[in-house]
Structures are given as structure tokens and as C-alpha cells.
Amino acid sequence: MASQVEWLSDCVNGVMPYKFIGPVPLSEAVESQRRALKLFWKITFSKIALTIKGPGENIRLIEGQSFKLQYILPTKRFRLLFLKNNSNIAEKEHVEKNVFHIRKVAPIDEGNYCAKVENIRSTITQLTVQSMFTSSFEQIYCIEGEQLQLKCSVYSASTEVEWFKDNANQYKQDKIERNKNISIDHNGKDHVLTIQNAKITDSGKYIIIAGNVRKQLPVIVKAFFKRPLENKTIMEGVEVSFECEAEKTYNVAYPVAWFKDNHEINSTSKFKKETIDNKVHKLTIQPTTLEDKGKYWIKVKDISSCADLDVKEIPDAVKQMSEHNRNMFLKAAKTGTAVRYYIRIMIVGENGVGKTCLLRRLMNEHIDDVKSTDGINIEVKKCKINRHTQKWMFTTDEEFSKTAYQNEDFADCGFWDFAGQKEFYATHQTFLSTNAIYLLVVDISKDFASKTHQDMIDDKFDKVGGN
């Protein structure tokens, strides 16, 4: 048995007044208590619905300002849930003791906010956020020596803007101040930081602070010389060139100056200066001497590039060479290669058909003392061909040794006169090449037509070295 309870009125300060009527069965007492609690919560939630009071319906803030949602409840025993655009907000995000707080709002925080207990919601608060900066921030590229400008726009002309580089936390060290190379200006809402003569060290992250909002602006300053001067080591007497290339082609021809050990170089027969398309700059020294050793540098738009030239003394063995051979050696020392044009002419045929006589006639020589060739006779130095006129020239070795013939305009012509005796045929295979001109000499007074190719092989080659 349990006592019967009669509920007297609405709850007062969260307590429902009641009085005992008398003993009743236990089941009826439980049911009566359940109905009483249901009535209690119904009355309580009705009052909550009337007393969840928050901020106004529309709130407009500037990016970086504080936003707080705080509601009035009839009792602290209830726990609020916060929603943005009808989606629950995670409690760990800005929620503390039934208060929703964003310390620095951003445009992404815009939306409709409300609070709820069970299925009861507060009125909706619409949050609108005005961006502090109205301009975009994209990476800026600049060439060393050019003017570098950083720009931004803010929502109000009265908003102050401060400029920093790399680390805005160290306020005094990194704040950018005006100087002879840097100007900071603004026109209403537009702000500009100008660096008149950008350097490589000006690359980095620039930080712009307005109010409580900071933005980053990446800057890359490329080197003026995409291809700077390089150190050179050469042998005296060899032509040498210093060459550099700017990052881009300029429409204006900037003054270019070359220096050696702080002394400006003027154009002479020894020093040749060139500028190609206002982009490539070249200094050629011809020929070099030991005195040319030193530091060379170029100056364009107050930007410099330098390199060292090391000149080695020419070896005594090279000094003792002929002028032609010495020039060939120096050219090879410079380029790493030596060009030689050589034409090989192979004279082949049977024994006694006149191969040597033909060679003598081609070279304008007498044939009175012609003897049978023993092995291979090679004639190289007595014949040259002009590569441009295709003219053949025959003269003495002494004449061809002169400088006039020792250049790439002439090709050496080498005649290879092979002995016709069958005993030498096997050794000839070592010297035959596809990169050659072949003169096949035959005696037309003999019955040459009746011999087939196979007959010649059987008769001449297969028996070489045989029984």
C-alpha cells in the first residue's frame, strides 16, 4: 500500500505542491506519480519555451570581431544544444556553460544560429560577417632589380593597415617601416607597399594586419640572371668567352658594363662585348695571355654577376710545335675536340693491272720508275681537296705544311694502293672499310668478262694460305 497524493497547483520554484489523501494500492501510486511527472515537465518546457531568450534576430559584424550567443533559462538544470543552419554544433567548438562564443568571426561563420532543449528551439539569430579585406591574396613574382608592389583593399577607409615580413609575432623586429627604398601609401580603402629595387632577400611571406585579421601574401623574387657567369680555366692563347642570360627579355636596353678586377673593360680587338635581344650578354677575350687571369664581372641595372678566369701557361712541348699543330692543339684544348676532314680512296685490282700507275697519273707524277706494290702504299699528304670549290690540289708535302692549307676548308685525301698479289688478299681485309671510295682497276685487254664473281673467289681468295 502507498499513500495517495493530490497535486495542488503548478510548480513553484521547480517544486510541485501536494497533500496526502490516504492509503492506495502501490500500482495506483506509481501510475499517479508518472502522471504527475509528465505534467511537471510539460509545464516546465512550456515555461522554457517562453523564457529562452537570446540576442536579436539579425547581427552584422566585421571580420575579427567577437560573436556570443547567451540565452536566459528558468533553471540551470537544462543543457542547451546549439545549431547552425539546422545542424548541431560540436560542443567542443566555441561552447562553454551553455554559451556559444566565437572570439574572431570570419566570413565562413555566417549563418542562422539558434539553441534548443529537447524539441524546443529559440528564435533564430542571423549572423552576417563583413570581410575585413576586400581584395584577394595570390603569390607575387618579381625579378631582382624591378619594382615590387604589394596591394590590398579593406572594407573601410578608416581601417589602419600594418605590414610585416615573415613573422608578425615579433612586432618590433619585423614590422616594415618606410625608408629610401620602401614606401607605404594608401588611398581611401586601398593600401600599397612598394619596394623600389627588389632583392633576392625580399622573397618570403608578407603579413598584412588590419584590426584583428591577418593575411599572408607570398612573394618570390627571382634572380636577374637566369644563367650567371661561370668560372673558366683555359690555356694561354685560347679564346675564351664569358656569357650570362637575364631572366627575361627587356624592351629597354639597359646599360651594360664589364669589369676586370674593378677596372672597366672597353671594346678592343682583344675584348669583344655583345648583347643579344637585351637578354644574353657576352664577353670574348681573344687570344688570352697569362695577364688576363683575374676576376671578371658584369653589371646590369646595378645587378652584378662575377666569375674567375684562370689562365694556364702553355706547355713547352706545345710551344715547339709548328704554328698549324699548335693552333690545332689550342683549338682542341678549348673545345675538347679536333675536326679533321679525311677522304679515303681505295685502289684495288689484280696484280699488274696498273693500280700504281693510275695513282701516279692522278697525282701528276711520272710513271717511269713504277714497281710492283709490296703490301699497301698510302699517299696522304700530297693531295688535298677544297671543301667549298671541290678543287683537287697536288703539290709537295712542304707546300701543304704552310698555314694556308691547315684549316677546315681543306680535306686530306688518302690514296690506298693495295698490292694485287693473291698472297696479300687476306691481310687486305683488315684495312677495307665501307667509309671509303673504291677504284677497281682491271686490264681490259684480258678476258675479264668471261670471269664470274664466283670464279674470282675460287681462283684468288680460297687458295690464299692453302696448298
Cell, residue 67: 560573436
CB 221 within 8 A of CB 203: yes
Per CATH, 58-130 and 342-461 having the same topology is answered no
Question: pTM of the entire structure?
Answer: 0.57
CATH 3.40.50.300 fits domain 342-461:
yes
CA separation, residue 256 to residues 199, 229, 243 (Å): 19, 14, 13
pLDDT at 357 over 80: yes
pLDDT range class, residue 416, cuts 50, 70, 90: confident
pLDDT range class, residue 361, cuts 50, 70, 90: confident
pLDDT at 53 over 60: no
Q: What is the arithmetic mean of pLDDT over 371-384?
A: 67
In the prediction, which pLDDT does 402 show?
57
pLDDT at 15 over 50: no
| CATH class of the domain comprising 226-312 | mainly beta
Q: Per-domain residue ranges for the chain?
A: 2-51, 58-130, 140-222, 226-312, 342-461
Q: Which residues contact 187 (CB under 8 A, 6 or more apart)?
A: none
In the prediction, which pLDDT does 95 show?
77
pLDDT range class, residue 69, cuts 50, 70, 90: confident
In the prediction, which pLDDT does 4 show?
46
pLDDT range class, residue 23, cuts 50, 70, 90: low
Mean pLDDT is highest, among 23-32, 35-44, 343-352, for: 343-352
The second-level CATH assignment, the architecture, of 58-130 is Sandwich (2.60)
pLDDT in tens, 252-270: 778 899 999 989 999 898 9
Ranges assigned E (strand) in 25-107: 58-62, 67-70, 81-84, 87-88, 95-96, 99-102
In the prediction, which pLDDT does 18 show?
45
Q: What percent of the chain has pLDDT over 90?
A: 34
CB atoms inside a 10 Å sphere around CB 113: 22
CA separation, residue 30 to residues 18, 24, 293 (Å): 15, 10, 111
In the prediction, which pLDDT does 51 show?
46
The second-level CATH assignment, the architecture, of 140-222 is Sandwich (2.60)
pLDDT range class, residue 400, cuts 50, 70, 90: low
Q: What is the arithmetic mean of pLDDT over 200-225?
A: 92
DSSP bridge partners of 377: 417
Mean pLDDT is highest, among 73-77, 95-99, 234-238, for: 234-238
In the prediction, which pLDDT does 432 show?
78
pLDDT range class, residue 395, cuts 50, 70, 90: low
pLDDT at 3 over 60: no
